[in-house]
Amino acid sequence: MRSFDLAPLYRSTVGFDRLFSMLDQASGLEAPSPTYPPYNIERTGENAYRITVAVAGFTDKDLSIEVREQALTIRGEKAAAEAEGKPDYLHQGIAARAFERRFQLADHVSVKGAVLDHGLLHVDLVREIPEAKKPRQIAIGSGSGPRTIEGTTDRQAA
């Protein structure tokens, strides 16, 4: 038994819909993800990442990158060639079909920039954790002095 029914959880939780959709995707309940174009995801630093997508034949005008609600979407669509300038291929092995590739970003991950170089689109990401979310050290005081409870010391309360 490899599938789980999450329907009872949908009825009793609020705000976890993104988590449940990710679980549905991981369990294969949704359509399989496309394999075109191929891509790599690499860690380039402690809080830095790079997604590299093979987009041979596409120019920067044919590509668009969008971030919406923690999802990075890369789209590619070749501009329609004019009929008289279209080549007469004997064999066409280089795919130039339109594509859309989505990546789910973790919290506090943002896109730093993108570069198209030698048919590879490099999208640089960085995780910037806000100061309020970073771990902090709490000083531990000594227990030598009397504790105060509602304006009285421990000895007076007893």
Same domain, 54 and 120: yes
Same domain, 26 and 99: no
Same domain, 39 and 62: yes
Same domain, 110 and 126: yes
Same domain, 39 and 77: yes
Banded pLDDT at 1 (limits 50, 70, 90): very low
Number of H helices, E strands in the chain: 3, 9
How many domains, in total, are found in the chain? 2
Residue 150 lies in a domain: no
Q: Which residue has the higher pLDDT, 111 or 8?
A: 111
CATH code for the domain of 72: 2.60.40.790
- Cα torsion 78, 80, 94, 77 to 10°: value is 20
Same domain, 40 and 73: yes
Residue 152 lies in a domain: no
Same domain, 48 and 24: no
- Cα torsion 79, 87, 36, 78 to 10°: value is 0
Per residue in 27-68, pLDDT (tens digit) is: 665 455 578 889 999 988 888 999 999 998 888 899 999 999
What gap in Å lies between CA 112 and CA 126, rounded to an integer? 6
Same domain, 123 and 103: yes
What gap in Å lies between CA 141 and CA 94, rounded to an integer? 68
Residue 136 lies in a domain: no
Task: Tell me the two tokens of residue 18.
Answer: 């993104």
Domain carrying residue 24: 1-32
Does the pTM exceed 0.85? Answer: no
φ/ψ of residue 102, rounded to 5: -115, 145
Residue 153 lies in a domain: no
